[in-house]
Structure 1
Amino acid sequence: MTPVLHTERLTFRPYRPADEDAFVALLRDEEVCRWMGQERVPEADIRTLFRAILTDVYPQHRFDVWGLWHEEVYVGHAEVKPTGNVDGHELVTALAPGHWGRGLGTEAVRGLLRHAADNLGLKEAYGMVGGDNAASLALCRRLGFRHVRDVVGDDGTVTKLLVIPTTVGEPEPRGV
């Protein structure tokens, strides 16, 4: 069962039926789609995906997926799931544009790393970041991700496959 997780400012909560409209709005946002390296998908398809999370992913324990909440406001999405690109697990985050630039992305990735290590027993995790997504690539560098290889799409777009030990990326202790 996907657990509820907490970081300093974020709550990672498994989705509930009432969260569907927020999930759809996030994944229909043009900027979010651009940085996730995907085309905008029809709303009906996103609603089908959301319902599959509730009716298939959670009941079958396929992987962990959450809505991200800050002060009871939906701010994004997060996952830890097996990846088809390598033998391992991928961290996925997407924040609504109104919440960019406040350190929530870094905090979300750190929370996923802690969960991957403490609850899933993973020694490393992967990330897939669009080659032109400078902000996310900078975040990954700061946390200690290492470049594995470039994945080139049929359309020529480049996605960076990155890896990080799950014990890296821990925040510095306060007061030191």
Structure 2
Amino acid sequence: MNPTLRTERLLLEPYTPDDEEDFVALFQDRRVSQWMGDGPATEAEDRALFGRIFTKVYAQELFDVWAVRRDGRLIGHAEIKPTDMAQGHEIVYALTPEVWGSGLGRELARAIVAHGFETLGLTEVHATVAASNSASLALLERIGFEHVRDVTEDDGSTTHVLTRRQG
């Protein structure tokens, strides 16, 4: 079962059905979704994604996915999951733009990485980040991720693959 994680300012816990509107609002914000997966999706696609968290990810215990809360309010999304691109486990995180620049992204990423090492027993974790996402790249560098290689996407853009090793 998806564990609950706590940091100094954040609570990472499994989503509840009541989180759907806030989840969709987060993923519909183009400032956020431009960096997620294949980029912005339709509202219907984001609602379907939210549904799959319950019907597939949680039901089959595929990987850990969290609602990220601060002071009881949903302010983000986080995951650690197997990925073929990096041949291991990848961290995924997103926060509402209202909290960008507050250090919460670093706090969140550190918590997911620690969960990967301490709970899942991983020796390394990965992140895949668009080359143009300078804020996320800088954040990951600050917490010990190193650039490993680049992947050229179908649209010609570049994705950086970064790795953080335990220790």
Specify the TM-score bucket, using the shorter chain as the normaliser.
over 0.9
Aligned match of 1:73: 73
Aligned to 1:154, what secondary structure does the other structure show? coil
Kindly indicate whether the alpha-carbon contact (under 8 Å) linking 2:66 and 2:77 is maintained by their aligned counterparts in 1: yes
Question: What TM-score, normalized to structure 1?
Answer: 0.92
Could you tell me how far 1:140 is from its partner in structure 2?
Answer: 1.1
Could you tell me how far apart the structure 2 residues matched to 1:112 and 1:152 are?
A: 26
Large movers: runs of 4+ above 2 Å: 35-39
Aligned to 1:86, what secondary structure does the other structure show? coil
Could you tell me how far apart the structure 2 residues matched to 1:140 and 1:39 are?
A: 20
Aligned to 2:132, what secondary structure does the other structure show? coil
Q: Tell me the amino acid that sits aligned with residue 31 of structure 1.
A: R
Kindly indicate whether the alpha-carbon contact (under 8 Å) linking 2:35 and 2:133 is maintained by their aligned counterparts in 1: yes
Aligned to 1:159, what secondary structure does the other structure show? strand
Could you tell me how far 1:35 is from its partner in structure 2?
Answer: 2.6
Any unmatched runs of 5+ in structure 2?
none
Could you tell me how far 1:37 is from its partner in structure 2?
Answer: 5.8
Larger displacement relative to structure 2 (152-161 or 28-37): 28-37
Could you tell me how far apart the structure 2 residues matched to 1:126 and 1:40 are?
A: 23
Aligned to 1:107, what secondary structure does the other structure show? helix
Aligned to 1:65, what secondary structure does the other structure show? strand
Aligned to 1:35, what secondary structure does the other structure show? coil
Aligned match of 1:171: none
Aligned match of 1:13: 13
| Pairing 1:47–2:27 present | no
Percent identity between matched residues is 49
Any unmatched runs of 5+ in structure 1?
168-176
What is the aligned length? 167
Could you tell me how far 1:59 is from its partner in structure 2?
Answer: 1.4
Could you tell me how far 1:105 is from its partner in structure 2?
Answer: 0.4
Could you tell me how far apart the structure 2 residues matched to 1:85 and 1:113 are?
A: 18
Could you tell me how far apart the structure 1 residues matched to 2:37 and 2:48 are?
A: 20
Could you tell me how far 1:141 is from its partner in structure 2?
Answer: 1.1
Q: Tell me the amino acid that sits aligned with residue 112 of structure 1.
A: I
Kindly indicate whether the alpha-carbon contact (under 8 Å) linking 2:86 and 2:161 is maintained by their aligned counterparts in 1: no
Question: What TM-score, normalized to structure 2?
Answer: 0.96
Could you tell me how far apart the structure 2 residues matched to 1:118 and 1:92 are?
A: 17
CA deviation map 1:92-127 (0-9, x unaligned)? 000111110000000001100111111100111000
Alignment of 1:14-163 (within 5 A): 14-36=14-36, 38-163=38-163
CA deviation map 1:76-102 (0-9, x unaligned)? 000000001132000000011111000
Could you tell me how far apart the structure 2 residues matched to 1:37 and 1:139 are?
A: 19
Do the aligned partners of residues 133 and 14 (structure 1) sit closer, same or farther apart at CA in structure 2, a change above 3 Å counting?
same
RMSD (Å) for aligned C-alpha atoms: 1.1
Could you tell me how far apart the structure 2 residues matched to 1:14 and 1:41 are?
A: 23
CA deviation map 1:37-79 (0-9, x unaligned)? 6332111111111111011110101000001001111110000
